[in-house]
């Protein structure tokens, strides 16, 4: 199964100013997160961010925050229970105007089903073995398709990061890289945004 940009949302977890200096290979992790966010912007893929205890760990770097449509603050390690699931899967709009129940059944308009939305969640962040892992597992439980971008994820130690990837793979999460995501979103060198996205990688 390949990623489809029209069915994807990007979630960036806790790339915060006071945390990133402690992350193993932090500059490369952050650079890949920014590439993903910029690619998503170009392709109109919604971008969400989360910040863990921002009063203590600080905000996202300015360029990454600017690439996010919304950044959700949180205190729980998993963002899923602090508004992320509701943001990724908004409720069906409430219909207003008139009391349909007062009409005979054959004149009532059928209720509209909730929109299918974008069920493929491309997820990256820090720390991979804590906030990213817990968020990913809860999204899987909520029946999203989750794709974790390994080269845009980090922990303070390589061992913790790799243990997170092992556990995520065992839970059915797809493990991908930044370039895999971008080129699957594009699908073709004839895509009108191919050159713009290629420039992000070079």
**Domain spanning 5-89+116-201, CATH architecture:** 3-Layer(aba) Sandwich (3.40)
pLDDT value for 90: 73
What are the strands of the beta sheet with 70-74, ordered from one edge? 70-74, 47-52, 8-13, 120-125, 145-149, 174-176
* Residue 182: closest CA among 38, 69, 54: 38
In this model, does residue 114 exceed pLDDT 60?
no
| pLDDT of the residue at 97 | 52
pLDDT tens column, 10-33? 999 999 999 999 999 999 999 999
Average pLDDT over residues 108-133: 76
Asked if residue 175 has pLDDT above 90, the reply is yes
pLDDT confidence tier of residue 201, bands split at 50, 70 and 90: confident
Residue 126 has pLDDT above 60, yes or no: yes
Task: Quote the CA–CA distance of 113 and 179 in Å, as a whole number.
Answer: 35
| Of 10, 36, 44, residue with least CA distance to 179 | 36
Q: What pLDDT does residue 1 have?
A: 87
Cis peptide before 75 (omega within 30 of 0): no
pLDDT score for 91:
63
**Buried b or exposed e, range 175-191, using 16+ CB within 10 angstroms:** ebebbbbbbbbbeeeeb
Spans of all domains in the chain? 5-89+116-201
Alpha carbon distances (Å) from 100 to 93, 112, 113: 16, 13, 16
pLDDT single digits (tens) 130-142: 999 999 999 999 9
Residues 61-113 have pLDDT tens digits of 999 999 999 999 999 999 998 899 999 987 655 555 555 455 454 444 443 33
Paired sense of beta strands 8-13 and 120-125, if any: parallel
């Amino acid at each position: 199964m390949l990623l489809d940009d029209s069915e994807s949302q990007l979630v960036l977890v806790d790339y915060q100013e006071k945390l990133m200096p402690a992350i193993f290979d932090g500059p490369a992790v952050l650079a890949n997160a920014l590439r993903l966010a910029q690619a998503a912007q170009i392709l109109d893929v919604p971008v969400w961010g989360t910040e863990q205890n921002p009063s203590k760990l600080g905000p996202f770097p300015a360029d990454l925050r600017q690439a996010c449509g919304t950044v959700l603050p949180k205190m729980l390690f998993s963002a899923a229970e602090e508004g992320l699931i509701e943001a990724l899967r908004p409720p069906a709009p409430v219909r207003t105007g008139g009391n349909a129940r007062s009409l005979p059944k054959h004149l009532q308009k059928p209720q509209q089903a909730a929109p299918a939305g974008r069920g493929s969640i491309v997820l990256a962040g820090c720390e991979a073995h804590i906030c990213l892992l817990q968020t990913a597992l809860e999204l899987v439980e909520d029946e999203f398709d989750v794709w974790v971008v390994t080269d845009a994820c980090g922990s303070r130690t390589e061992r913790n990061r790799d243990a997170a990837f092992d556990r995520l793979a065992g839970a059915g999460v797809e493990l991908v890289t930044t370039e895999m995501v971008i080129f699957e979103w594009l699908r073709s060198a004839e895509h009108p945004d191919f050159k713009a996205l290629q420039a992000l990688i070079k």
